[in-house]
Amino acid sequence: MNWDDLTTLWRKQPQSRLADAQFDRLKMNFAKKSRKLARALFWRDIRELLAAALLMFLFVKDALHRGSAGWPIWLGIALLVPVAGFFVKERIRAHYRKTAPNASVLEKVEADLAELRRQRSLLQNVGKWYLGPIFLSWLVVLASTHFHGLGGILRTPLQMSGYAAGGVALFYFIWKLNRRAVRRQIDPRISELETLKIGLLAGNSG
């Protein structure tokens, strides 16, 4: 055995042990993190659905109070309906996507990978399906119900611009938070599950 053979052997052995240790750790933590993901998505959907329902209730109440003058508010409400409906559909989809109790670890890993990739896509496009409709709804209601201040005094263009700019800043902040969640939470978890899947396909389970 020459020096090159010894060098190759020295490099391979620790890497192999590290890979095995990493695989065992990922396998042990998989079920726990899988349940955590399911719980997080469940409570997210419930919170968002309740928030949308509360917002629509307040808008409906205001629109009814204003009578025919409140017709623009109904447009704002209509923009929120698809957002609320999305989270209802997510709960239905989650119910039917559950893997069978006797499913293999590989099947469960693939199911979680598919779910994480879907959530990644949703977060990256949150401006289109979530923030956009809510922002438009807010602008419509702002223009129709808050155009006049206390005592019916007409708000100045500067005041209205300030409200709009504040809304843009808030929604931009939410958009950035979602992007950061993709980088710091979802992408690392996808990498972990891809590593675990490779180990399972290679028959690396003990």
What are the φ/ψ torsions at residue 148 (nearest 5 degrees)? Answer: -110, 135
- Of 42, 179, 34, the C-alpha closest to 110 is 34
Mean predicted confidence (pLDDT) in 131-155: 71
Cα–Cα distance for residue pair 46/43, rounded to 1 Å: 5
Instruction: Place 146 in a pLDDT band, splitting at 50, 70 and 90.
Output: low
Instruction: Give the amino acid at 172.
Output: Y
Tens of pLDDT, residue by residue over 55-79, are 999 999 988 988 887 888 899 999 9
Tens of pLDDT, residue by residue over 155-201, are 667 777 777 788 889 899 999 999 999 999 999 999 989 988 888 88
Cα–Cα distance for residue pair 158/142, rounded to 1 Å: 14
Cα–Cα distance for residue pair 4/93, rounded to 1 Å: 55
Helix (H, G, I), strand (E, B) or coil at 149: coil
What are the φ/ψ torsions at residue 74 (nearest 5 degrees)? Answer: -65, -30
Instruction: Place 93 in a pLDDT band, splitting at 50, 70 and 90.
Output: very high
Structure tokens at 49: 């659905």
In this prediction, residue 145 carries a pLDDT of: 62
Cα–Cα distance for residue pair 164/142, rounded to 1 Å: 9
Helix (H, G, I), strand (E, B) or coil at 156: coil
Share of the chain above pLDDT 70, in %: 81
Residue 54 reports pLDDT greater than 90: yes
Instruction: Give the amino acid at 177.
Output: L
Cα–Cα distance for residue pair 192/23, rounded to 1 Å: 9
